[in-house]
Amino acid sequence: MKKGKMRLVVKVGSSSLAAPGGGCDPAKMSLLVSAVSRLRDAGHQVVLVSSGAVASGFRRLGYQQRPRTLAAKQAAAAIGQSLLMQTYTELFAAYGCTVAQILLTRGDFSDRERYHHAFQTLSLLLEKNVLPIINENDTVSVAELTFGDNDMLGALVAGLVHADLYLILTDTNGLYDKDPRTHADAVRIPYLPAVTDEVEALAGGASRLGTGGMRSKLIAAKTAQQLGVPSFIGHLAQPSDLLDVLDGSGSGTYVGFRPESPAGHALPTRKQWIALHSPVRGRISVDRGAAEAVLRHRRSLLLAGVRDVDGAFAPGEVIEVYCDGQLIGRGVSRCSAADLRAKLSPAGPARPKGIVIHRDQWTEAACFAAIGGSDRT
């Protein structure tokens, strides 16, 4: 693993923070704060992605268990988020650490300008040695704008800040070949080169106080790996546990790398936005020569290789690219759909010239196909 200072994203779920009956568990939060502070004292930069707003607030609304309706969950989050941040502020202050609250929605990622501003803000906070604490903005989020759970939010944040490692903390110490709660002979899997369909099948459902489960964490780790960020899934029991993860002796499951190997390299921010967050406005089909040029020879996509145009997109908007009916990637088009159709018409130039998608504004389908395909609008 990379030596020296690292940039880390630590995600903690509701089950690892909240008391069984709701509210913040002071002992659990103190343990987390101590462990994160040790990372910072060792010179590492840390971003904390913290669940727990709904779990912390629902009892203040008179509910005996986590509510199910959207309005009740949003109201609980409005109460719980302030309680959560108040506790974090007080606990981290004892270690001389200033914290900053950042609440995000899907819209902050899909809008290119807001995405860029989020990157700049997080970069400045880390440069100034401030600890960003990120959560989804549950109070205003609706189904179409949610991340599904904070495991995925953490993965996307890890890519956004170009993290060296994404640490997913949960109530079990990694993935097992069987459910350890019902099988005494279950064996922990210490290392996964990649998350396959067979691996996902080993995972169970959501925890009682949260929305995620082991399968959610594996999908998040898979997404982070696609963005060039390796992951670790495990349980926090002692303040030194997170440092042990960096030393390669963490009690959990490493995903996408071996502890002794170098860390990955995150995709450039602009390519992450194209691959995972951009609204897709149209599609074009290209011939095999053009597909080979962009996929094998890493060249820009030229107008001469375009065969068909679908949609009504403008210059600067993201489009998908197909070859023989197969999605091969997406990128920012330099041309409008109308211009492309005019140049491809019989009355247009015999062999149209120019670049449709520059190499620097292109991502291959492997970067995004496994987590939901296009966000077409």
Determine if residue 217 is labeled as part of a ligand binding site. Answer: yes
Determine if residue 138 is labeled as part of a ligand binding site. Answer: yes
Q: What local confidence, expressed as pLDDT, does residue 138 receive? A: 65
| Topology given in CATH for the domain delimited by 7-255 | Carbamate kinase (3.40.1160)
Please give the order of strands across the beta sheet that includes 191-192.
99-104, 131-136, 45-50, 7-12, 165-170, 231-235, 252-255, 191-192
Which residues, 6+ apart, have CB-to-CB distance to 94 below 8 Å? none
Determine if residue 170 is labeled as part of a ligand binding site. Answer: yes
Q: How many CA atoms lie within 13 A of 334 on its CB side?
A: 14
Indicate the pTM of the whole model.
0.78
**Chain centroid offset of residue 209 CA:** 21
Determine if residue 51 is labeled as part of a ligand binding site. Answer: yes
Q: What local confidence, expressed as pLDDT, does residue 33 receive? A: 98
Q: What local confidence, expressed as pLDDT, does residue 374 receive? A: 39
Q: What local confidence, expressed as pLDDT, does residue 205 receive? A: 46
Domain limits, the chain? 7-255, 278-376
Determine if residue 150 is labeled as part of a ligand binding site. Answer: yes
Q: What local confidence, expressed as pLDDT, does residue 238 receive? A: 95
Q: What local confidence, expressed as pLDDT, does residue 207 receive? A: 43
Determine if residue 215 is labeled as part of a ligand binding site. Answer: yes
Q: What local confidence, expressed as pLDDT, does residue 196 receive? A: 82
Among residues 46, 101, 47, which one has the least CA distance to residue 77? Answer: 101
Q: How far apart are the first and last CA of the chain?
A: 40
| Topology given in CATH for the domain delimited by 278-376 | 2.30.130
Per-residue pLDDT 10s for the chain (377 aa) are 555 799 999 999 887 887 777 777 889 999 999 999 999 999 999 999 998 888 888 888 888 888 888 888 889 888 989 989 999 999 999 999 999 999 998 878 888 888 889 999 999 999 999 999 999 886 665 544 345 578 999 999 999 999 999 999 988 888 888 777 788 888 899 999 888 888 877 775 444 333 447 888 999 999 898 888 999 999 999 999 999 999 888 989 999 865 545 455 566 777 888 877 788 999 999 999 999 999 989 999 999 999 999 999 999 999 999 999 999 999 999 999 999 998 887 766 666 789 999 999 998 886 655 444 434 33
Determine if residue 374 is labeled as part of a ligand binding site. Answer: no
Determine if residue 211 is labeled as part of a ligand binding site. Answer: yes
Q: Give the torsion sign (CA, 169, 73, 204, 228).
A: negative
